[in-house]
Amino acid sequence: QVQLVQSGAEVKKPGASVKVSCRASGYTFTGYDINWVRQATGQGLEWMGWMNPNSGNTGYAQKFQGRVTMTRNASINTAYMELSSLRSEDTAVYYCARARGAVTNSDYWGQGTQVTVSS
Amino acid sequence: QSALTQPASVSGSPGQSITISCTGTSSDVGGYNYVSWYQQHPGTAPKLMIYEVTNRPSGVSNRFSGSKSGNTASLTISGLQAEDEADYYCSSYTGSSTLVVFGGGTKLTVL
């Protein structure tokens, strides 16, 4: 069955960077784009960007351009999202999700990774 | 890119039908047939309920249906059940560098 398993919770200081991993199984990793979405506590969903695991092509939300980098290691079916220059407002749960067809169709989601930014 | 507009909350009794609206602009909802709906229970990841305006993924109950008119998309849940109580989010393709925008979310309460 399709599964996306994310790395564990992180605590970072302001100004630092965080790198979250997302290991895929149960399907052909290079056949589907990966979206990254975050959710602050009690808040709504926010789309951060997408990556094509086959080509490595990426597209980032304007809000995160210059601060986010999405990469992959196809040999181990794993996608990564790195966010730099962290600030307290980046405290959130970060999700990876498989995009089925259109980028808006996130049909399988990881369990989420809590990132806390605190001094 | 502004978030899509959803009502903060809706409610209904078991067995009833409810509709959640999602209003955008001609640059997102109105311009493309790429509207999705997600259900999220507390402490869990979102679940895709509707994609490309009207399509249901395999395994999603046919009590859930989607539609669109102009710049407003809608999710209708018929025969409300207690397990439907959750937060619901719409999303749309935008065609800008921010390819996807979400709505602010709607809390559904089953009375």
Question: What pLDDT digit, counting tens, does each position of A4-53 carry?
Answer: 999 999 999 999 999 999 999 999 999 999 999 999 999 999 999 999 99
Q: In this predicted structure, what is the pLDDT of residue B87? A: 98
Which residues from chain A sit within 8 angstroms of residue B97, using beta carbons?
Answer: 59-62, 65
User: Which amino acid would we find at residue B64?
Assistant: F
Neighbours of B14 (CB within 10 A): 11
| Distance between B15 CA and the closest CA of chain A, angstroms | 27
Determine, for residues A104 and B47 on separate chains, whether the beta-carbon distance falls below 8 Å.
no
For B28, which DSSP code?
Answer: T
* Contact call for residues A78 and A62 (beta carbons, < 8 A): no
* Contact call for residues A63 and A47 (beta carbons, < 8 A): no
As a whole number of angstroms, the distance between CA B72 and CA B49 comes to 17
Backbone angles phi, psi at B14, to 5 degrees: -55, 135
Q: In this predicted structure, what is the pLDDT of residue B15? A: 97
When the pLDDT of each residue in chain A is averaged and rounded to a whole number, the result is 97
- Any CB–CB contact under 8 A between B88 and chain A? no
Determine, for residues A47 and B91 on separate chains, whether the beta-carbon distance falls below 8 Å.
yes
- Collapsing DSSP states into helix, strand and coil, what is residue B14? coil
- Any CB–CB contact under 8 A between B94 and chain A? no
Which residues from chain A sit within 8 angstroms of residue B98, using beta carbons?
Answer: 47, 61-63
Determine, for residues B38 and A60 on separate chains, whether the beta-carbon distance falls below 8 Å.
no
Query: Is a pLDDT exceeding 90 seen at residue A96?
Result: yes
- Any CB–CB contact under 8 A between A63 and chain B? yes
Helix (H) or strand (E) holding B84: none
Determine, for residues B36 and A105 on separate chains, whether the beta-carbon distance falls below 8 Å.
yes
For A29, which DSSP code?
Answer: G
Residues of chain B with pLDDT under 50: none
User: Which amino acid would we find at residue B83?
Assistant: E
As a whole number of angstroms, the distance between CA B5 and CA B97 comes to 20
DSSP lists the bridge partners of residue B103 as: B4
* Long-range interactions of A49-53: CB distance < 8 A, separation 24+: A49/A81, A50/A99, A50/A103, A50/B99, A50/B100, A51/A79, A53/A29, A53/A79
| Distance between B48 CA and the closest CA of chain A, angstroms | 6
Taking CA atoms, what residue in B is nearest to A35? B100
As a whole number of angstroms, the distance between CA B73 and CA B25 comes to 11
Helix (H) or strand (E) holding A112: none
Which pLDDT band, with edges at 50, 70 and 90, does A68 fall under? very high
- Any CB–CB contact under 8 A between B27 and chain A? no
Give the closest residue to B103 by CA, choosing from B81, B72, B65, B60.
B72
Q: In this predicted structure, what is the pLDDT of residue B1? A: 62
Angle at B19 between CA B13 and CA B24, to 5 degrees: 150
Place of tokens 């509709």: B19
As a whole number of angstroms, the distance between CA B92 and CA B111 comes to 30
DSSP A14-72: TT--EEEEEEEESS-GGGSEEEEEEE-TT--EEEEEEE-TTT--EEE-GGGTTTEEEEE
